[in-house]
Amino acid sequence: MTARIQEICSHIPKCKTFADVGCDHGYMAQYALRADLCERAYISDISKESLQKAITLLKNYVDCGRCIPICTDGLTRFPETPECVLIAGMGGEEAVKILREAPLPQTLLLQPMKNAEKVRAYLLSNGYRILSDYTFEDGKFYDFIVAARGEGDAYTKRELAFGRDNLSAPSPAFLKKIRKERDELRSVLDCASLSEENRAKVQARMQALEEVLHEVAGNLS
C-alpha cells in the first residue's frame, strides 16, 4: 500500500455504508472492510477491467454481500446513498460533475488531481462544511479535502485557491509545492518567446505565490 493510499485511508470514518468511486484496484475499500469501518462497501468504476481487479481483490467480501460492485460512471445506479463517499485520483471538475448528478452523502473524502479550488467552491455552495483541507506528498503533491453536511464558514478567495489548513497550519509538503511552482515560473519568465499576455499571467501567479509564502511565514512565527 502506497503512502498516498495510507494517507487517504486514515481519514475513512466509522460508517454504515462506504463507497469508493473510481475504485480501480479496490485497496481503499479493502482497508475499510478489514478495519470494520463500515458494514458494507460499494466499489464503482466506469472501467469493467478496473472493477474486475477490485472484485478479485475483494472476492470474499463480495461473496458474503459486504462489498457491492457497480460498473457505472460516478454514483449513478447506486441502490442507496452511501453515508461516506471517497473520490480520489480524478480531476476536480470530474469530481464535481459526479456529485452534481447524485444525491449528496453525509461525508465526502476528496483527493482531486487538479482544480481543487473548484471542489472547495462546490462544497461550500452545496451545504457542506470543510473539516480538513491540506496538501501531502507521495512522489507528487496531493490536495485532500474532508467535508461533511452542515453549515460552515465561508472561505476567502485565497483559501479557495490554496486550502484553509494549508494557510493556517501549512504542511512541509504545501510549502515545498508552493516554492517549487514559484521556481518553475521564474524559469518560464526567462523564456524570450513568452508573449506579453502570458508574461503578465505568470507574474500575477508568482505574486500570488509570494503573498501566500509571506502569509504562511506570519502564521508560523
What's the pTM value of the predicted model, to 2 decimals? Answer: 0.94
pLDDT tens by residue, 95-151 = 999 999 999 999 999 999 999 999 999 999 999 999 999 999 999 999 999 999 998
The pLDDT assigned to 2 comes to: 93
pLDDT tens by residue, 22-57 = 999 999 999 999 999 999 999 999 999 999 999 999
Q: Which three cell numbers stand for residue 76?
A: 449513478
The residues, any chain, with a CB within 8 Å of residue 195's CB and separated by 6 or more, are none
**In this structure, what is the dihedral angle of CA atoms 67, 72, 77, 81, given to the nearest 10 degrees?**
60
Closest of 185, 177, 191 to residue 204, by C-alpha: 185
CATH topology of domain 3-153: Rossmann fold (3.40.50)
Domain ranges in the chain are 3-153, 173-220
